[in-house]
Amino acid sequence: MTLWWIGNAVLLLVILPVVVYLLRGVLEAAKSIVALVQGIATVAAAGSKDLDAAPLLLTTQDQVEQTVAGLANYGGSLDVILDDHEGPAR
Amino acid sequence: MTVVAVVAAGVVMILAVVLIVLALVYFLVSTILELRKITAGLDEVIGGVGEIVEKSAPVNDVVNNINTQLDAGVDLLEGLLVKKAGLNDAVGLIDGVYPGAAAAGLRQFPESTEVDAPRIGETYTRGTLSLARLGREAPIAAASPGNAVLRNVEGGSLAARQLYPDVRHESPENLPNSPTIGADAPVQYEQREDVGAPRKRLPARRP
């Protein structure tokens, strides 16, 4: 009988507080993760928005190609107009 | 007495078990709800990250292509410059326009790093170097030997505005307001007293 009461006391004074403590820790961790995930979602959305201008790189690519092509034509003309350097390379 | 004690002990034990179960239910349900929020948040994250991956997928190829084109342009210009001016003068001209650039040398000509660059700024006339600075948009000209910047890209507009007698380029806190005109204006610009008053002298009658 005495052991039964001791068991009850252990159940109420030790097991229950330990269970509550551990479960509260899990709950707090889950709550903190929610805030972090929301922050990550905001950053991901902002990062995606920042990349909206990425398709403009195609325009840049076209313009660079046209510029280099014009440069090649210009250089070809200069090559014809100007005399080459005479003498040693150095 | 023994029966009562047994019943009491049993009730206390059942009460303790019920409390533990209630605590388990409360905290586990709360945790489940938080985990559902996490799942929803991660869905948003996955959506955003998916967009990032989708949008950035072609960037690598495009940038590589741009770099290839620019490399070809640089090679072309370097080759043409060396072909027409010779390696010595080419390095000297580059160092005159971009002071210190001779140390890096030309990519197509590794031996250019060993060239003792002639001081083009001293060899050629000032007009030649001025034309070079104008053509290269001149931030480099700030360090050119002995000459002022002819055209500063960052301050080009300010330099042009400073040619005119105006205070706007000094960015004052307040500029004078435009004058108020009209009948209700605080300052009437036609301030003669005889305006609107009876004539002081009647015109002479004709005979």
CA-nearest of B109, B104, B116, B100 to B81 is B109
Domain that holds residue B146: 77-165
Q: Model confidence over B72-86: pLDDT tens digits? A: 998 998 899 888 888
C-alpha dist (Å) from residue B111 to B33, B87, B88, B106:
70, 9, 11, 8
Supply the pLDDT for residue B139. Answer: 45
Nearest by CB: B12 against A8, A34, A88: A8
B109 pairs with which residues across the strands?
A: B106
Listed range (A4-8, B138-142, B195-199) with the worst mean pLDDT: B138-142
Total domain count, chain B: 1
Q: What is the mean pLDDT of chain A?
A: 89
Encoded tokens for B2: 């023994």
When mean pLDDT is compared over B148-152, B157-161, B163-167, B176-180, the highest value belongs to B176-180
Q: What is the mean pLDDT of chain B?
A: 77
Neighbours of B88 (CB within 10 A): 19
Check CB contact of A31 with chain B, cutoff 8 Å. yes
Residue with tokens 């040398």: B105
Q: Model confidence over A45-78: pLDDT tens digits? A: 999 998 988 889 999 999 999 999 999 998 888 8
Nearest by CB: B83 against A24, A85, A90: A85
Query: Can you give the residue ranges of every domain in chain A?
Result: 2-81
Check CB contact of A12 with chain B, cutoff 8 Å. yes
Q: B92 in a domain, yes or no?
A: yes
Q: B158 in a domain, yes or no?
A: yes
Percent of chain B with pLDDT over 70: 68
Supply the pLDDT for residue B136. Answer: 45
Closest chain A residue to B16, measured at CA: A12
- Residue B35 confidence class, pLDDT cut points 50, 70, 90: very high
Neighbours of B144 (CB within 10 A): 20
A29: closest CA of chain B, how far (Å): 9
Per the confidence metrics, is the pTM higher than 0.90? Answer: no
Q: B85 in a domain, yes or no?
A: yes
CB contact under 8 Å between A71 and B77, yes or no, is yes
B92: closest CA of chain A, how far (Å): 12
